[in-house]
Amino acid sequence: MSETPEMNNENNVPELKTNENKNVIRKVGDREFERYAIKTRFVNIGDDYIDVVKEYALPHIKEGDFISISEKIIALCQKRIVYRKDIHPGFWAKLLCKFVHVTPAGPGAGTPHKMQLIIMLCGLPRVLFATACAAVTKLFGIKGVFYQVCGHEVDGIDGLIDYDISYKEYVNYGILNPVDPSGVCNEIYEKLGIKCMIVDACDISVKLLGKCDALDIDTKTLEDIMRDNPAGQDDQCTPIILVREKK
């Protein structure tokens, strides 16, 4: 995305653009969808997601459009965080994180603080069972079992970064999944008239967490639209993607 987006009309609405190395068009079955990344300011803990969507997405919306919103900014608005200072990695967290498979999307549970947060959420017995299952299935080339056993609440943890990152805020706290994502989407539709969905996406996977009732597209199609993560993986600051079906 350009640091200073060009303006496309008399109301100074920034032009819709795409992130570097991301395609505008994605074909899903016999349908084609345009995906445009909407750059926002940094969303802070306790911000109002209605205000964010209204300010950055609403000016671009045309009939038939809908948006995809990163689960991270909704969770931040809902204050779904756990501070690093309140997480104290113990023996098991320090040991188990060493065996976590690190993917191009990031270390996942491969840091002591994230592993300790997982233990806090799931309990040690479940985490040990998930670890054992992952160790066995890894022998057969099956990955991701640890997160499947622990549940998506664990898979969706963001933040608590232990390496250099543009947004230093994400070093200091972990971000949990948002509460009632479908309810959030319905609220956005009721107040702003924008159809939307909330997704947890990275460069290797995507999961639909919720969508408004008015968005009459099946889950598989919605996930396929976002499969290549048009929002990007780094510091693009484009947590909202506008989707427009080509007719």
| Cα angle for residues 200, 205, 208 (degrees, 5° grid) | 40
Q: Which residues contact 207 (CB under 8 A, 6 or more apart)?
A: 152, 155, 156, 199, 200, 201, 223
3-state SS, residue 155: helix
Q: What band does 17 get if pLDDT is binned at 50, 70 and 90?
A: confident
Provide the pLDDT for residue 30. 93
Of the two residues 217 and 3, the one the predictor is more confident about is 217
- Taking the model in full, what pTM does it have? 0.85
- Cβ–Cβ < 8 Å for 159, 173: yes
Residue-wise pLDDT tens digits, 191-222: 999 999 999 987 678 899 999 999 999 999 99
The model's pLDDT over 124-138, given as tens digits with 9 standing for 90+, comes to 999 999 999 999 998
DSSP character string of 83-120: EGGG----HHHHHHGGGPPPBTTB-TT-SHHHHHHHHH
Closest CA to 230 of 13, 8, 16, 63: 16
Strand partners of residue 85: none
Non-local CB neighbours of 87 within 8 Å, separated by 6+ positions? 113, 116, 117, 120, 160, 174
Report the C-alpha dihedral over residues 69, 73, 79, 81, rounded to 10 degrees.
Answer: 110
